[in-house]
Amino acid sequence: MTEIILQFEVDDRPTTPETVTDEALAEMLAHTGEQIREQVMRKTSDLRCAEHGNAPRITVTATYESASEQMELAYHVDACCQMLLLRTVQALNH
């Protein structure tokens, strides 16, 4: 199964929904995290390397800027080989 690692940054500082003191922001981060995890899992859950039998590991970093109230997502994929990497990126883009 695909391993999904979710990281949050608020105003360029690493954080978690549990440590954010603003209750509304903490709720938004938690909800966003659930949605990201579900979407990535739906798109990649059946991906395995045909040659090595491995699943990809995907790290998603959600960066929130308070001043602009904007969130950006960055994806990093670890895969056993180039073919699995390409298949994973393709799945995430669709």
User: Can you tell me whether residue 14 is helix, strand or coil?
Assistant: strand
Residue type, 65: E
Contact between residue 73 and residue 43 where contact means Cβ atoms under 8 Å apart: no
Provide the β-strand partners of residue 74: 61
Q: Where do the domains of the chain lie? A: 3-92
pTM: 0.92
Contact at 8 Å (CB) between 40 and 92?
yes
* pLDDT at residue number 4: 97
| The predicted structure's pLDDT at residue 1 | 87
> How close are the terminal C-alpha atoms of the chain, in Å?
19
| pLDDT over 90 at 74, yes or no | yes
Q: Write the DSSP symbol of residue 80.
A: S
